[in-house]
Structures are given as C-alpha cells and as structure tokens.
Amino acid sequence: MCGIVGYIGPKQATTLLLEALRRMEYRGYDSAGIAVINGTGLKVRKAAGKLSNLEKQVAGDLPRGTVGIGHTRWATHGAPTTPNAHPHTDQSGRIALIHNGIIENSGSIRKALLKRGHTFTSETDTEVLAHLVGELYQGSLEEAVAAALREVDGAYGIAVICTEEPDVLVAARNGSPLIVGIGESERFVASDASPLLEHTRSVIYLDDGEMVILTRDGYRVRDLEVKHIDKPVNQIDWDLATIERGGYEHFMLKEICEQPESLANTLRGHLLEDEGTARVAGLNLTDDELMSVERIIITACGTSWHSGLIGEYMLEELARVPVEVEYASEFRYRNPVVNDRTLVVGISQSGETADTLAALREARRRGARTIGLVNVVGSTIAREVDGGTYLHAGPEVGVASTKAFTSQVAALALLTLRIGRLRNLSILQGRQFIQALTSLPAQIEQILSRTDELKVLAERFFTGNNALYLGRGVNFPVALEGALKLKEISYIHAEGYPAAEMKHGPIALIDENMPVVFIAPRDAVHSKIVSNIEEVKARGGKVLAICSEHDTEIERLADATFTIPQTLDLLTPMLTVVPLQLLSYYVAVRRGCNVDQPRNLAKSVTVE
C-alpha cells in the first residue's frame, strides 16, 4: 500500500526521493508528495494522481535540501485529492509527517484538537497525527513523536521531520513495515527495500513499537518509552536488476515468464529423492512435534488463500491430516478453536499482510504453533512465526501475483511431503511426487513457449463484460485464481465456481455471450467435468478449456482449447494456472488497462 521513504545525508533530497517513490509505484497509490527542509523552512509539494503529476509540479522549482520525506498514498481516510495527499504538516507548519496505516482513534483526537484551536485542511487521520506531534513538541522531535504515539491506537509506519531540528529524521512502526538503510554518511527509511538498493544493502528491520532516530552521524533505535534497543544490521542479497523490467513490456509478463526459475528456486535444496521426502529445516519442528499435529489451519488472503486451498487438497490426500483454509480477515473475529496440537500456516507474498499477521498472532496467543510461507526475507511474518520457509521466488513487482502463487503451491507441496512421509506416505509415492515436482519448471517452459496461442484466445475475451471459470477437485482453486486475475487487471467481472455447482445457480447466466473457462486436465474427475462442459454447450455457452495433451474428447466439445503437459493430479494447478495468467494479461493489454498498477489495488495490504 502506501510507500514511505525518508533521507538524511549530503545529497540533494528531492531527486533522490522522487526516484525512490518511482521504485515503489508498484505498491499501488493514488497521490504522491514530498517535504524537504532547507535554509528557508519546510518545502512541501504534493499532487493527486500518478507520480508524474508531482514531477511536473516540481520540475521548474526543485526544492533544495538534504533531509526530506516522500510518500505515495493509497486512500483510506478521505478521497484521493491533493489536500489529502501526504506529507501533512502540523498547525505551525514546522513539522511534516508521512504515514502508512490507520489511526483508529483519530476521530476523538481530532475533536480534542479542534476544541484547542486547531484547524485542519484534509480529511485524513495522518494530519491529525501531525497536529498532535506539533502540539507536543517542546524542543525534541524524538520525544514529541514518542509522546504522540503513546496516545494513538491503530497501525502506523511514519516518518517525521522538523525545521527546528534540520539534522534529525524520526521514524516509527506499529503494524506497517519500515526498513532503515545504512549508507556511507547517509541514512534512509523506507516501506520496503526497493528504493534502498541503489544506495545501500545494509538494512535494519524495525519491529512493532520501535522508533529510529536518524542523524547525519548515525542512528539510534528505541521503544516508545526510553529503552534503547540493539538491532542487527542485515544484508539484502538481491540487486537492482531483479526489480527492473528487463526488456518485458510489463512486470507482470516478466514475472509470469520467470516461473520456471522461481519454481526451481523454491524447490532447490529441499528435495531428498532417495528418501522420498523433503528437508524443510526452517519449520523448527521436530518429527515428534509434526506427528503430534492433529489439525492444520491455513490462513491467507486473496491469491495466497487460493494457494492454501490447493495445499488443503495435498495435505489431506497425502498426509491424511484434517485441514481448514481460513480467510485471515475473518479468522480472529470468529473465536477460532485452536490449541497446542494445531499447526497454523500463514501464507503471504510480502510477509506484511496485516490480516494474515493478525491471524497468526491470535493463533499463537491461543497456543498454536505457527509457520509462515513468505517471499520477503526479514518481513514481519517471517520474524514473528515459530518457523517456516522462504519462497525464494525473487521480488514480485506486479500487483497481480503470479510467480508467488506457483511458489506458494510448491512450498505447500514440500510441507506435504515432509508431513506425509512421517505418517503414511510410502517412499515410492514420495519419490514419484518428487520426480513430478522436479519436472514442473521444464513443463512450464513448454507452456510459455506457446504464448502466441493465448494472444489469439484473448481476442475472444477482451470485449466481454463477464466470464465464468469452472474447475473440479484441486483445480477448483485454479478457477478462483483465474477469475481473480481477469477481474484484477482487465476489470471484467469474472467468477470462479466448482464445476458441479454450476447447475445450482450460475447456469442461469450462460448464453452465447458468456465465455466459460474450464480447467479440465485428464485427472480423477475428468469424466465429470466432461459432463459439465456438455451442460454448458447445450445452453449455447462458449467454452475455452485448459486440458491435457491429446484429449480428443474435450477438443471435440470445446470452442477453443489450450493444452498442458501431463503431471500428477495434485500438481496440475502449477501448470493449469499459467495459461490463465497469460490469458488475463493479454486481455488486459488488449483493453488498454494498466496491467502492473490496476486501479484501487495495492501490492502489499498493510491495513485491515
């Protein structure tokens, strides 16, 4: 969601801040702004819309100064207008503040400040916080920020500067990620690592309830009281080239095409073919502890939730453990039944998803063991769970998740192997599963070599307003994911359904204008889905089928087909989803949509 960046050092801040904000555009935003301190005071520039609007505004009058903060906003309190854009200033105009998150008691604080003579120019909770810091300022920005944050409830990641202390930048977090960058004679703070890589690889990850005070000479980390905190300096192990488009038209297409490599990276070093099992050392669970697990709950949001549904099929089939898949946003509000024999698995690409993090914290509070499947090293979920594994899929910049999905399913397959072999999965079954897993990257490569076929199929979709995606068994979640991708980036209404449920409602929608996508590989329910296709055809529906090679029966029935290589039934989702990702991409491009930054969406959802 919102992007935060701050800088203090010898360089001119404005150009650096604008470039950093450009590297965070992928997060999703609707306005942008900067604030810089120079010899004449505080220079604030902001604009609604894309970053280019802000760049045009400052082009003829570049604010000068070597300390500053920048922000891209995703609207929560108030519409995406210039007055609501960050940074916000206090009543005196000497303090500027940027904020990611939601201050839940901002309404009561605003009322109290209004009674004390404050006036506000925006609808935001952030301006309320800026005014509160300003009111508490008595010569120390550090103490004013700490005092203000002790009065607020909610989630925040903030960065604050003050003209009275031009050599200080204060930042703090509670629920919204912040990273501190340590460079030569310069310091940075940012929402994620992408804007830092050009300048430094040495970073500190702030935890909830922590503040950092950055100066030209160094930094200090403390809590909201007075306690000093020693933090380790970590090294980022990927470089700037990995977050560039590399010749692709869009990040999404690049990331779809990276899946053979990203999937191989997720599996690398984990598979033990001779033993028919997987090594997942990061789980921090002994064999006895895994054997004592009576139930698994997978909690996630969006695409990660869909991968969790596939994990449910794999774990129940091969490990014979009861599994429930929960929307993280609902989990902690329904008094879930968990105990010390429950394993709760949180899945999040960013490792910062607020709802998933809250669900995992609630599970731990109730005595459950928690593990995380995340892609971002050093993320909050990775630091707070009892164990887990990194996806190693590489940075994912496109808002619509693609390669993270296949890596999440692969990570769940590793977990399945590990638990299954401890229970009732034979060594021969384990070896067969491993052989099929290791073949997947090459099979995805085969699919990607035929993208021109999907460009042609996209011509059948791009003028439509609705689409129905149907699958059975382990490919029902793929139907959900395919529909999600289409509506996320092309703005076509699409629904995913279990194919057998079609006749309990959605069949009423089917006519010659309703495209229906079937995920229909040759698996254990193949004959059933053939019947479902016939039902659609009998009502004039237009069918596109994702099917196995040489499936003459489905090729005869469907209006169009795209074939995939054969693999084990439980692993087909990692193949069937790839053509659906590409189909959505080409439809969106054909419709002229902003593929990498679809409207109203954010890459990392760090508020509830």
Q: Summarize pLDDT for 2-22 with one digit per residue, the tens.
A: 789 999 999 999 999 999 998
Integer Cα distance of 114 and 320 in angstroms: 60
Segment 454-462 shows an average pLDDT of 88
CA-nearest of 356, 397, 408, 351 to 377 is 351
Local structure of residue 277 (DSSP, 8 states): E
Q: Residue 460: what pLDDT? A: 81
Query: Which has the minimum average pLDDT: 234-243, 328-337, 441-450?
Result: 234-243
Q: Residue 237: what pLDDT? A: 75
Over 90: is that where the pLDDT of 335 sits?
A: no
Q: Is 482 helix (H, G, I), strand (E, B) or coil?
A: helix
Catalytic residue among 43, 403, 487, 603: 603
Q: What is the pLDDT of residues 240-272, one digit of tens each?
A: 656 677 778 998 999 999 999 999 999 998 999
CA-nearest of 378, 360, 357, 358 to 369 is 360
Query: Which tokens belong to 350?
Result: 């960013």
CB atoms inside a 10 Å sphere around CB 431: 17
Query: Which has the minimum average pLDDT: 436-440, 478-482, 508-512?
Result: 508-512
E-strand spans in 283-362? 295-300, 323-327, 342-348
603 is catalytic: yes
Q: What is the pLDDT of residues 348-364, one digit of tens each?
A: 998 888 899 999 999 99
Single-letter code of the amino acid located at 538: A
- The fourth-level CATH superfamily of domain 245-448 is Glucose-6-phosphate isomerase like protein; domain 1 (3.40.50.10490)
Q: Same topology for domains 245-448 and 450-596, yes or no?
A: yes
Over 80: is that where the pLDDT of 149 sits?
A: yes
Q: What is the pLDDT of residues 84-120, one digit of tens each?
A: 999 999 999 999 999 998 898 999 999 999 999 999 9
485 is catalytic: no
- The fourth-level CATH superfamily of domain 3-241 is Aminohydrolase, N-terminal nucleophile (Ntn) domain (3.60.20.10)
Catalytic residue among 2, 162, 257, 593: 2
Mean pLDDT rounded to a whole number for the chain? 92
Q: Residue 241: what pLDDT? A: 59
Over 60: is that where the pLDDT of 467 sits?
A: yes
Domain boundaries, the chain: 3-241, 245-448, 450-596
> What CATH number does domain 450-596 carry, 3.40.50.10490, 3.40.50.300, 3.40.50.2300, 3.10.50.40?
3.40.50.10490
Q: What is the pLDDT of residues 539-578, one digit of tens each?
A: 888 899 999 999 999 999 999 999 999 999 999 999 999 9
Over 60: is that where the pLDDT of 183 sits?
A: yes
Q: pLDDT band at 152, cuts 50/70/90?
A: very high
Q: Residue 242: what pLDDT? A: 63
Query: Which tokens belong to 142?
Result: 């550090």
Query: Which has the minimum average pLDDT: 376-385, 441-450, 586-595?
Result: 376-385
Q: Residue 352: what pLDDT? A: 87
Query: Which tokens belong to 434?
Result: 């491993």
Segment 110-132 shows an average pLDDT of 95
Q: How many CA atoms lie within 13 A of 469 on its CB side?
A: 27
Over 90: is that where the pLDDT of 376 sits?
A: no
CA-nearest of 324, 277, 272 to 297 is 324
Provide the phi-psi class of 335: left if phi over 0, else alpha when psi is between -120 and 50, else beta. left
Question: Parallel, antiparallel, or unpaired for β 154-162 and 88-89?
Answer: unpaired
Let me know: does 333 contact 348? Beta carbons within 8 Å: no
DSSP β-bridge partners for residue 88: 97
Provide the phi-psi class of 107: left if phi over 0, else alpha when psi is between -120 and 50, else beta. alpha
Integer Cα distance of 82 and 555 in angstroms: 54
Number of H helices, E strands in the chain: 19, 26
CA dist 325 → 164, 246, 342, 513 (Å): 52, 36, 13, 34
Tell me which of 334 and 75 has the higher pLDDT: 334
Q: pLDDT band at 504, cuts 50/70/90?
A: confident
E-strand spans in 175-307? 179-183, 186-190, 202-205, 210-215, 219-223, 234-235, 271-272, 277-278, 295-300
